[in-house]
Structure formats: C-alpha cells, structure tokens
Amino acid sequence: MPPLKFSMLFLFVMYLLSFQFSFTAAADPTYVHHVCSETTNFTRNNIFESNLNRLLPSLPTNASRGNGFSKGFFNATAGQDPNKVYSLFLCSGDQTTNSSQNCVTFATRNVTRRCPVSKDTIIWYDETEIHN
C-alpha cells in the first residue's frame, strides 16, 4: 500500500481466548467496536463504491492464505486511483482457519452497514469459542 495513502482501511482484529476450555464449532463472532471517518466519505453509486463492493466479498476466502509470513493477515486492493480501495485484516495467530474466515465474513458484511459512506473504517470482532 502506498505510504500514508489509504482510501479504505479495514482492520479486523480478532482474539481467541483459550483458558482451559475446549473448542467446538464456530460461533458468530462478537462485535466489539468500529470507527468511521467523518472526514473521508464517498458519494453513493460511484466507482469507489463499485470497487468496494467487488473487494469485500473476496476477503473471507483469503483468511487462510495470509501474506506468506502468517495466516490470518491479508491486504488487498481494487480499482485505480483516485477510487482505489485498500483493505487489511488481521486475525489472532492462534485462530483456526474457519474462525478467521467466519470473523472476516461477518466483518465484511457488517462494515458497510455500520459505516455506509466512510472511506476510512476500522472494525473489531472478538472471535472467542469458549465451551465447557
């Protein structure tokens, strides 16, 4: 990504707690917090939104790919400047691939609802699967 030039930034931070509990099937991740920029917004039905709508659905499948150094970290872009969309997600290193994909799926569906026209967005989820 170009230094200090972010059209869209998604940071998906997920935590997996393992305090002597066993893990079962993935549960819905718990929403923690989000931040929407109030100064960098886009107009609906434009090229930026088209690029955003093309990029978001591709992110969950990349939760297992990683960047070559670690699973659960990935960045991607769509489009060309000045309507280029940047994305980034980070999952806790001890999460399973399914947990990461589940959390990224929820975040990509939820981010445009929580920040419908913001170009700079951060959203956090807690991907905890605690069962006795």
The two beta strands, 121-126 and 30-36, are: antiparallel
DSSP 64: G
- Helix, strand, coil percentages for the chain (3-state, nearest 5): 25, 25, 50
CATH architecture of 12-126: 2-Layer Sandwich (3.30)
Q: pLDDT value at position 47?
A: 97
Encoding tokens for residue 114? 């929580």
Average pLDDT score over residue span 13-25: 32
Q: How far is CA 12 from CA 19, 35, 81, in A?
A: 22, 12, 24
Consecutive H or E run containing 109: helix 97-114
The CA distance from 51 to 84, in Å, is 7
Domain ranges of the chain: 12-126
2 vs 94, residue with greater confidence = 94
Q: pLDDT tens digits for 67-114?
A: 555 677 888 999 999 999 999 998 887 778 888 888 899 899 999 999
Q: pLDDT value at position 9?
A: 41
Q: pLDDT tens digits for 22-51?
A: 333 456 788 899 999 989 999 999 999 999
Is residue 14 over pLDDT 80? Answer: no
